[in-house]
């Protein structure tokens, strides 16, 4: 007895297969920001480090002096953002204090 699969059924099977296999990985590194930009409250230097609880530990000094920063592409500056205890939303939701435009997690990091 032949199996009669409609075109709709074939499409549903194709979509289901694509969805099931799209989550497969080779076991590589996890998705997400590997490093975030911080500003040290002691040295005023910008530091790239792994995401950490606030305040983050400065790898150079070993002290918890790093504050999270976001970049404004309009003024081309990094701005310190409030800690998670103050703002519990997504960090990209912060607006530039000068332009009131959305800031981002990536940008050219200054030398100091």
pLDDT of 3-54, one tens digit each?
A: 554 545 454 444 444 444 444 444 444 444 588 899 999 999 999 888 888 8
**Domain residue extents for the chain:** 36-93
d(CA 78, CA 37): 9
* Residue 63 reports pLDDT greater than 90: yes
Place of tokens 């590589």: 28
pLDDT in tens, 52-62: 888 999 999 99
What is the largest distance, in Å, between two alpha-carbon atoms of the chain? 78
Prediction pTM value: 0.62
């Amino acid at each position: 007895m032949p199996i009669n699969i409609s075109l709709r059924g074939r499409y549903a099977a194709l979509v289901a297969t694509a969805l099931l296999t799209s989550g497969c990985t080779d076991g590589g590194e996890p998705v997400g920001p590997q490093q975030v930009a911080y500003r040290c409250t002691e040295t005023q230097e910008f530091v790239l480090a792994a995401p950490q609880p606030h305040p983050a530990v400065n790898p150079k000094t070993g002290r918890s002096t790093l504050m999270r920063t976001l970049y404004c592409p309009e003024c081309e500056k990094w701005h310190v953002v409030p800690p998670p205890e103050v703002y519990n939303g997504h960090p990209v939701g912060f607006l530039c204090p000068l332009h009131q435009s959305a800031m981002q997690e990536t940008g050219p990091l200054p030398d100091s």
